[in-house]
Amino acid sequence: MRIVLMAAICVALPLAQAQEKINVLSYNVQFLPGIAASHNKRPNPEYRAKRIAEEVSKFDIVGLQETFEPSHRSAIKEGVKAAWNGTLNFVESPLPKEFVANGGCLLMTKLPIIASDAVVYKHFSKPAEYGFRADGFAAKGAIWARIARSEAAMDDYIDVFVTHLEARADDMRPFQYKELAEFIKTKSDPTRPMLLLGDLNTRGSVEDRKDSASQYSVMMTDFNAAREGGITDTWVALMGDKLGGTTEQESAEVGKRIDYVLLGNPKAPAFQLKPTAIQVLGYQDPQVTALSDHSAVSAEFDWPTTK
């Protein structure tokens, strides 16, 4: 099922402002909806939403997952909008009538959004098999935004995708890899760079990367087929064999690496994004241990002008 979205755009950026670098963030913030909120691993959601807004507003493009609870999603958006002096351009997951919650993905940026869309995955864990915490209660999928450099350079853009893949049923995930790859192929401009931000629930350890039968290898094979120039794992490109775990907030050297910033560049001589830095951010906080049960992944890219 594919659903067309209109990006909500507030106050425009000044025409003189042009991005030569961009910093992006992917972060699973765990705001479960309704009665499921009792399973949030961090307390005080109102405080967490306020603090998360403060932290993520330091980035140009933000991809969040698990913003299922509407009130906390709204609080994050309002906090970011205030931090960005009234500017908030965003796309969020749709909520088809057959689902209890939307897909939880939220993309926010200071930069102009010139097109957007979403897809809801057709393959997911069913409540009948997985009970209360089945992914099938939420309309999980992917969102996409075409983001321009500035109001003065609307023809200079990149494509950004945000997703959250299956958490319960391992056998459903390979189907979603193909669904996401098709969405990327359909929506991204092969002559422009693209970014994929998200909790892919797919382990990216050294061992997984070396195993051609691992879900990581299957995933990257499917993603690479979606774009002529391929899609690369930015963490591996810059950090090599360092672990980069995102499921334990005290250190990136423990836990599992399941949260990603992936980069798809067109073939030369088309202009490309150049990754210059990437890190795992635990966002520990004495009031709530950490702002989420996931760490965030931030990355910085050089964005050369096309003219």
Q: How far apart are CA 54 and CA 45, in angstroms?
A: 14
Mean pLDDT over 280-288 rounds to: 98
Q: How far apart are CA 83 and CA 72, in angstroms?
A: 16
**pLDDT tens, residue by residue, 3-26:** 445 454 444 434 334 569 999 999
Question: Checking DSSP bridges between strand 194-199 and strand 153-164, what pairing results, if any?
Answer: parallel
**pLDDT tens, residue by residue, 88-113:** 999 999 999 999 999 999 999 999 99
Q: Which amino acid is at 214?
A: S
Q: Which domains does the chain have, with CATH numbers?
A: 2-302 (3.60.10.10)
Alpha-carbon distances of 232 from 174, 248, 260, 262, rounded to whole Å: 18, 24, 11, 6
pLDDT at 14: 41
pTM: 0.93
CB 266 within 8 A of CB 249: no
The continuous run of DSSP H or E covering 43 comes out as: none
**pLDDT tens, residue by residue, 179-228:** 999 999 999 999 999 999 999 999 999 999 999 999 999 999 999 999 99
